Structure 1
Amino acid sequence: MTALLLLASALALGAAAAWRLPLRFYAFEYVATSVVVGLVGWTWLAFLVALVLPIVPAIVVTTVVATAGAVALVWPRRPRAEGFARLTSRGDRLLWGAVTAVTVVGLGRLFWTHSLISESDGIYSAGSSWADYGVHAAIASNVAESDSLTMDLPIASGERLTYPFLIDLLSGLLMRSGLSLHLSFFLPGVLLALAICQLVLGFSLRLFDHLGAAVTTLVLFLCTGSALGLSEAWSDWRDSDQGLFEFLGDLPRDYTTLSDRGAEVTNLVAHALLPQRTILFGLGVALVVFRLLQASRIGGASPVSTRLLLLAGGAVGLLPMAHPHSFLVCLGVLVVLTGEAALARRGLPRPHLAALGLALVLALPQLAWQQLANDHGTGGRFHWVWVKPEGQLVGEFWWHNFGLMGLLFLVVPLVLLRRREIGLLVWCVPFLAVLVVTQVYAFQPFEYDNLKLLYYVYFMGALFAGYLAVLAYRASRWTLLAAVPLAVVIAAPGALSITYEFGLHDRFASPEDEAVAAWVREHTEPDDVFLTTDRPNNPISALGGRPIVTGYIGWLYNFSIPYEERLAAVRAALAGRVDDPLVRKFAPDYLAVQAQEGPEWTVDTDALDALADAGRVAYANAGWTIYRLP
């Protein structure tokens, strides 16, 4: 019940805040904005309160303040001065309804099955979510199990938490309020994903006033993927001796993850919205910011435009702790629009500069924390041509990844210049700048993570693909004979990736994993540290909420955390050397050993038996043994 009150207060706050925005919304756009503003705003408020209060009082205070804020924003209740826009034609309403129904059913099923769902033989996820949810669940479970917000990274005890964690904080607070791990992931995830879809439709409608263009944008954006995937799928089908529908019903692989050929543009749904939970906050807020900036841009030098600019600047400034990649994109858009305003006014655009200043003032403490909380930064560096394999030609790499969409990135500015649509060209510039930067600089140790920026470039491409399709259709309806096949070719790899994702079902935790996590929660303290081998689905951290010395080293590497000594400490403990200085350095309270450790780990059973004989076994089941350390 408490969790439902929490969610209700967050959504009420979002609805009230959106109600007061001086924007003429479509009804679906208003609902989507309410979801994003409410969930992100409530979580930020909870974070600030939890810095000074224990977790439970922080939940209560935040819920009360959010509810009071919602009432204050709409009291006394009066109609919106701007009213609501409507889809005027029956055909548009039917098209919107059909597209919305497909996204609700499709995304609803994917989020339900991927969000660590409990079944009779364990807990399940799928695909990339199976691996990524280990760190998200560790942070959320640690919040749910702790009495106060520690700001330590639970998958590397002793390290400060600089990973953008706001959405995991929300899930942790929902768990502490009574929801299961599954529902605490599913409800925010599906609400935000569906809101993002509606905001994409709304933003395209605002720019181009054509629902066909908006639907084209949404389809192409959701179906991002490496262009090479289509020819690879064709080759696999031709060699399979299967009918088309039989092949599509049981795809052999994901056709957007083709690392051996240097094709790494993965699908937005399967590899971002589902597993990378932080992008749900980031992309949602970014789309709201784009809408605010678009409205302020057409409003001229008016008080309303200034208000919208300041609201956008404030929203941008809150992004680093939610999703730094979205912060960089939104900051770039704001900078470009500030430059445009300066040229138009031939002077300083004070409202734009105020918005930019507000964004930086709010963001700098968060960025400083992420860079300086630990002594090793975030691992950014210059890197030529993104993830191009050594020896591959740049043109070949570009075509394998971007294909026709890559050509569109280059063609759109030329078309807009020729049509003298400078107002639309301004929306291209920051995203094209992002495309250039991602090809020469890696923001994290894994260059692959530049995709979090490239997805925005694909959003721009999808946005203007819809616009160009409508222009071509208006010139001649026969252009559909060319436009539709081109759209299918562009969208096919991503659509195949989503189709493949529906067929995945991977066990995240066994009954033994669940049992050891339950024992951990009931018999150890929230700040007790466990020494375990590195695995993404470690139940001690992901389900038990306890800090561990070393989580999956792929995460630690990408967070730029040194892990060699941590691995050495694990090896020493598995050899029975629990008094080794490396072990003592990390001050673990328990050693957790699986019955079947991976082949890369050497377990000295005689030494561990000696620990058992000394009475140090705290818990054991068929899959795990927990040793109490001195």
Structure 2
Amino acid sequence: MYGSFAGGLAAVSFICFFQLCGLCLSAVIFTRESPGPRVLLGSVLGSVCMQWLPALTGFALGFTRAGHIAAAVIVALITCGTLIWAKKSGRAVTLGVKEAPGAFLRHKFLFFVLALSVVYCILVPRSFYWQDNIIYSSQATYGDMSMHLSFITSLARQGTFPPNYSLLPGTRLSYPFLSDSISSSLYLLGASLRLSYCLPMLLAGCQVFFGGWLFLRTLLNSDKKAGLAFTFFFLNGGLGLMYFFGGGEGNFSRIFYAYYETPTNYTAENIRWVNVIADMMLPQRATLFGWTLLFPTLYLLTRAVFHHRRRYYLYAGLMAGAMPMIHTHSFLALGLVCGAWLTARLFRDNGLSSLAVRIGKLLIPLGLIAMAIMQAILSPEDRNNSDRLLGLFFSVFSLWAVTLLLLMINSLRRRKLKPIIFTWGVLLLAALLLALPQLFTWTFRQVSSGGMVRGHFGWVIGDDNYLWFYLKNIGLVWVFALLGLLAADKRSFARYCPCMAIWFVAELVEFQPNDYDNNKLLYVGFLFLCCAAADWLWCVLELIPQRAAQYAPAVLLAVILAAPAALTLGREFMARYEIYGTGAMGLSLFIDDQLPKDAVIMTDQRHNNEAAALSGRNIVCGSPIYLYYHGLNYYQREQDLRPMYEAPGENLSLFEKYEIDYVLISDFERNSYKVDTAWFEENFFKVFDDGGRALYGVRAES
């Protein structure tokens, strides 16, 4: 758990090696890109290789050091082979700077991107703070960190591949675990748990910020518009600050001291549109690593669709195919973006762009009215789980599919279908060839277990008026975005229209048991809304005659709109919650050093379970806050824990059923159950006791 200097050096060398290979591959593949995009794409490619190659070798060698050596050899061979081919074919290979030395300074907003990356890099280590043999979390990571640690440590310690849930032994881990396996690799090689957890996140955060900037700059074709859109997205915050004004100094200061009472996350007033950095990128590793791949893919797709780089369709398809087990929601969101842009392309090829834009703009007010009406007429039960909503979704989806088919038939008659096949068809084929094995091996298994896909109305609006909910949560950016969509010309509307497809799907269908998690789709739609908002706002500001005078109100407005996010990030910087104390650390070190890697330990269901999170061992049944929201059937195990603790002598068959090797009794277990401690003392073998935690071996050989 503490690692070693040699292990840390090996881990850092491993990640740097993959980064170097990614940069070399990017130098060959993206020769027509400028140095900035080429470096970013190479870095992302290196990270993806580090996630996927140990997984592929894991099927044969397990998640072991031998498997990682094999993965490193494979990426080295691929890189060397690619460089040799490039040299023989005369292909230019360089990461050198083609721009003038001062060119970077002309992109002044990049300094803001860099500054925001630094802020994030300060927050990550504070979200997993280790001091005096105590582990602290920040506010945002208090809930999720233990789950991710259990994935990281169990994969590294047990080496089983495909991995199982250590929180529910015998159940295949279908969560997008590659967002955690990259840390498991470092931990396996000997790095400390904190370094293994934080280092990939630091790299990923920078990839997300620069990838987001690159995509926005390319889609909007303007530094100033991209700057506003970037600020709107990453420093998002609505009108939640109004609840902290008045009522004395204490009302405002609770932003920094109360638990989850910030301007961007205040459930008491249904402020749920959380800040992207604080509540998405810090605690949700799958979202973080999914965006590291999604944003560069959107950049490549933008270059392919709007800049006519046909080869980029293939590259975008390959990157899309790597997404499902990194972040399934990003894969789904990218599919909706592709569907929207393909539809716009077919309308254009058939000379129907103007008609499509008029229909699209008409759907915006009609859609808002329809959602308000649906909210009024749907019962609370139908809002939460309704086959009617699924029926509505599939009806609209079928109408879209028929429209797409008719457009393709007409394109065939006009001899314009062949370019579609060799661009979008290539993207689809590449993505499906890589994605389908993942989906059938992992994702569809979990979806088929029930409760994962259902009709649901209006995300988490609750009893709030539909329009008021989004106004107070997203704020003026939402208004600017709607105006931007309505005022957009044909070309711009075609670029921003994916937000409509994503919003429609996310407001009617849920793809997981937790209502809140649909924001993983909605935020991708929000990214396009930010583009529409920035575009419209700059068009208004350009009415000011003097160019210099346009920037002052833009900066002032951006600062005002970013204030709630800044306060939330300040709260995150100050927050510190003890999640594993000295007792938990001592026990986890004993388990890690002394117990078999595949040992099953019976504990209560606390979320901060040191046996699972810090030691990587299996426990009988983990916390419902993890298992329920993953759609897993854990109910029988949960019920069986009580009789095993309270009447163990009468339930020895359950100990055999769950193959329990050790039983933990601490204050947590005593608070959860009426533990028959005397029976355990008399019949099992105590292997650890620090006065607060006692660990008993079930069998003599334990």
Common fold by TM > 0.5? yes
The question of whether the paired residues in 2 share the 8 Å contact of 1:289 and 1:316 is answered with yes
Show the counterpart of 2:384: none
Counterpart of 1:277, as a letter, is R
Corresponding position of 1:276: 284
| Cross-structure match for 2:49 | 41
Q: Which one of the candidate residues 576, 586, 589 is aligned to 1:518?
A: 589
Contact kept? 1:40, 1:281, Cα under 8 Å: no
Distance 2:540 2:510 in 1: 37
Distance 1:204 1:49, change over 3 A: same
Q: Post-superposition shift, 1:133?
A: 1.1
Q: Determine whether 1:170 maps to 2:182.
A: yes
Which deviates more, 568-577 or 535-544?
568-577
User: Which of 218, 222, 246 lines up with 1:210 in the alignment?
Assistant: 222
Cα shift at 1:123: 1.4
The 1:184–1:78 alpha-carbon spacing in structure 2 relative to 1, beyond 3 Å, is: same
Within 1, Cα distance between the matches of 2:437 and 2:155? Answer: 22
- Show the 5 A alignment for 1:275-354: 275-300=283-308, 305-345=309-349, 346=411, 347-348=416-417, 349-350=420-421, 351-354=423-426
Using the TM superposition, give the Cα deviation of residue 321 of structure 1 relative to its aligned residue in structure 2, in angstroms. Answer: 0.6
Q: Give the 5 Å matches for 1:127-206.
A: 127-206=139-218
Q: Tell me the amino acid that sits aligned with residue 620 of structure 1.
A: D
Distance 1:31 1:423, change over 3 A: same
**In structure 1, C-alpha distance between the alignment counterparts of 2:482 and 2:190, rounded to whole Å:** 51
C-alpha distance after superposition, 1:112-132 (max 9, x if no partner): 111x33211411221121221
Residue-pair matches, total:
611
**Which residue of 18, 24, 30 maps to 2:26?**
18
- Residue pair 1:26, 1:202 contacting (<8 A) in 2 also: no
* Residue 609 of structure 1, aligned match among 671, 674, 678: 678
Gaps of 5+ in 2: 1-8, 350-410
AA of the residue aligned to 1:340: A
Instruction: Tell me how far apart the structure 1 counterparts of residues 44 and 474 of structure 2 sit (CA, whole Å).
Output: 30
Per the alignment, do residues 588 and 204 of structure 1 end up closer, same or farther by CA in structure 2, a change over 3 Å counting? same
Q: Distance in 1 between matches of 2:101 and 2:511?
A: 41
Q: 1:69 aligns with which of 68, 78, 90?
A: 78
Partner of 1:230: 241
- Report the Cα offset of residue 479 of structure 1: 5.2
Please tell me whether residue 356 in structure 1 is matched to residue 369 in structure 2: no
Further displaced range: 73-82 or 256-265:
73-82
Question: Are the aligned partners of 1:155 and 1:547 in contact in 2 as well (CA < 8 Å)?
Answer: yes
Work out whether 1:366 is the aligned partner of 2:438.
Answer: yes
Query: 2: CA distance between counterparts of 1:330 and 1:101?
Result: 26
SS at 1:6's partner residue?
Answer: helix
Taking the aligned partners of 2:59 and 2:283, their CA distance within structure 1 comes to 27
**3-state secondary structure, aligned to 2:136:** strand
The equivalent residue for 2:465 is 393
Alignment-derived partner of residue 506 in structure 2: 438
C-alpha displacement at 1:24, in angstroms? Answer: 4.4
Deviation of 1:465 (Å): 3.2
Is the 8 Å Cα contact of residues 171 and 184 (structure 1) preserved in structure 2? Answer: yes
Question: Paired residue for 2:536?
Answer: 468
Q: Is the 8 A contact 1:530 1:549 kept in 2?
A: yes
Structure 2 equivalent of residue 96 of structure 1: 110
Q: Is the 8 A contact 1:27 1:86 kept in 2?
A: no
TM-score normalised to structure 2 length: 0.81
Hey, what does 1:591 align to over in structure 2?
663
Residue 382, structure 1, aligned to residue 455, structure 2: yes
The SS at the match of 2:61 is: coil
1:371 touches 1:378 (CA, 8 Å); kept in 2? no
- What is the Cα deviation at residue 580 of structure 1? 4.9
Structure 1 residue runs without a partner (length 5+): none
Deviations 1:111-170 (A, max 9, x none): 1111x3321141122112122111111011011112442421111112111000002111
- Cα separation, partners in 2 of 1:517 and 1:374, compared to 1, 3 Å: farther
Distance 1:200 1:82 in 2: 23
Secondary structure of the residue that 1:535 maps to in structure 2?
coil
Equivalent residues of 2:447, 2:453 under 8 A apart: no
Question: Distance in 1 between the 2:40 and 2:610 partners?
Answer: 35
Structure 2 SS opposite 1:619: strand
Question: Which residue is 2:640 aligned to?
Answer: 569
Deviates more, 1:76-85 or 1:405-414: 76-85
> 1:251–1:460: structure 2 CA closer, same or farther, 3 Å change rule?
farther
Partner SS state of residue 50, structure 2: helix
Residues 615-626 of structure 1: pairs in structure 2 closer than 5 A = 615-626=684-695
Residues 573, 591 of structure 1: 8 Å contact kept: no
Distance 1:247 1:153, change over 3 A: closer
Contact kept, 8 Å, 2:35 with 2:98, in 1: the verdict is yes
1:379 aligned counterpart, secondary structure? coil
| 1-structure distance, mates of 2:695, 2:220 | 61
Instruction: Call closer, same or farther: CA 1:439–1:14 in 2, change over 3 Å.
Output: same
Alpha-carbon spacing, 1:89–1:315, altered in 2? closer, same or farther (3 Å): closer
Paired AA for residue 138 in structure 1: S
- State how far apart, in whole Å, the 1-side matches of 2:632 and 2:539 are: 50
Q: 2:615 aligns with which of 523, 540, 544?
A: 544
Q: Distance in 2 between matches of 1:70 and 1:424?
A: 39
2:266 aligned with 1:262:
no
SS, match of residue 118 in structure 1: strand
Structure 2 counterpart SS, 1:63: helix
1:476-534, CA deviations, whole angstroms, 9 ceiling, x for partnerless residues?
15555654454344323222211110111112211111111111112222221111111
Q: Residue 570 of structure 2 corresponds to which residue in structure 1?
A: 499
TM-superposed deviation, 1:448: 0.2
Cα shift at 1:90? 7.6
Deviation at 1:586, TM superposition (A): 2.4
Q: Secondary structure at the match of 1:626?
A: strand
CA drift at 1:627: 1.7
For residues 16-67 of structure 1, give each alpha carbon's deviation from its aligned partner in whole angstroms, at most 9, with x where no partner exists: 2221233644434333222222111221111111111131111101112222
Q: Which amino acid aligns with 1:134?
A: S
Q: Structure 1's 444 and 616: CA in aligned 2 closer, same or farther, altered over 3 A?
A: same
Per-residue displacement from partner, 1:96-118 (whole Å, max 9, x unpaired)? 23x1442243111101111x332
Secondary structure class of the residue paired with 2:599: coil
Q: Does 1:31 align with 2:39?
A: yes
Q: CA RMSD in A?
A: 2.6
Conservation of the 8 A alpha-carbon contact between 2:686 and 2:696:
yes
**Closer/same/farther in 2, CA of residues 353 and 40 from structure 1, 3 Å limit:** same
Question: Once the two structures are aligned, what percentage of the paired residues are identical?
Answer: 24
TM-score norm. by structure 1 comes to 0.90
Q: 1:487 to 1:60 in 2, by over 3 A?
A: same
Q: Which moves more between the two structures, 454-463 or 543-552?
A: 454-463
Residue type of the alignment partner of 1:16? C
Partner Cα distance (1:556, 1:90) in 2:
47
| TM-aligned CA deviation for residue 250 of structure 1 | 6.0
Q: Deviation at 1:373?
A: 5.6
Q: Could you tell me which amino acid in structure 1 is paired with residue 509 of structure 2?
A: Y
The separation in 1 between residues aligned to 2:236 and 2:459, in whole angstroms, is: 17
Q: Deviations over 1:600-626 (max 9, x none)?
A: x1232xx22222123422212133211
Contact conserved, 1:444 with 1:559, CA < 8 A, in 2?
yes
Q: Secondary structure of 1:367's partner?
A: helix
* Aligned-residue offset at 1:209: 3.8
Any conservation in 1 of the 2:592–2:615 contact (CA below 8 Å)? yes
- Give the match's secondary structure for 2:632: coil
